[in-house]
Amino acid sequence: MTPPVPAADAPADRRRELRADCSACAGLCCVLPAFAASADFAIDKPAGRACVHLTPDAHCGIHADLRQRGFPGCTVFDCFGAGQRLVQVAAVERPVADPGVAAAFPVLRQLHELLWYLTEAAGLPLPAPLRAEVADLTGRTEALAAGGPAALAAVDAAAVRAGAGELLGRVSAAARPGGRDRRDADLVGAVLRGADLRRHGLRGAYLIGADLRGADLRGADLLGADLRGADLRGADLTGALFLTRPQVAAARGDGATRLPAALERPAHWGAAAPVRTRRPRRPGGRGGAAGR
Residues at the site binding ligand SF4, with contacts judged by CB under 6 A? 30, 51, 53-54, 60, 62, 71, 74
Dihedral sign computed on CA atoms, order 187, 15, 20, 67: positive
Nearer to ligand SF4, 63 or 281 (CB): 63
Question: What is the C-alpha end-to-end distance of the chain, expressed in Å?
Answer: 60
Q: Among the residues of the chain, which ranges form H helices?
A: 28-31, 72-76, 82-90, 99-122, 128-145, 149-153, 157-175, 245-250
Please list the residues that pair with 196 across neighbouring strands: 216
Min CB(124)–ligand SF4 separation in Å = 34
Min CB(228)–ligand SF4 separation in Å = 18
Min CB(27)–ligand SF4 separation in Å = 7
C-alpha radius of gyration, the chain, whole number: 21
Nearer to ligand SF4, 20 or 212 (CB): 20
Q: 3-state secondary structure string, 263-280?
A: CCCCHHHCCCCCCCCCCC
Residue partners of 122: CB distance under 8 A and separation at least 6: 7, 10, 11, 131, 134, 135, 138
Integer CA distances (angstroms), 89 to 84, 103, 223, 239, 249, in order: 9, 14, 29, 34, 29
Min CB(80)–ligand SF4 separation in Å = 16
Nearer to ligand SF4, 59 or 140 (CB): 59
Nearer to ligand SF4, 22 or 188 (CB): 22
The 8-class DSSP code of residue 186 comes to: B
Nearer to ligand SF4, 74 or 137 (CB): 74
Is there a contact between 16 and 81 (Cβ–Cβ < 8 Å)? Answer: no
Min CB(191)–ligand SF4 separation in Å = 33
Nearer to ligand SF4, 61 or 255 (CB): 61
Min CB(229)–ligand SF4 separation in Å = 20
Nearer to ligand SF4, 76 or 111 (CB): 76
Min CB(96)–ligand SF4 separation in Å = 11
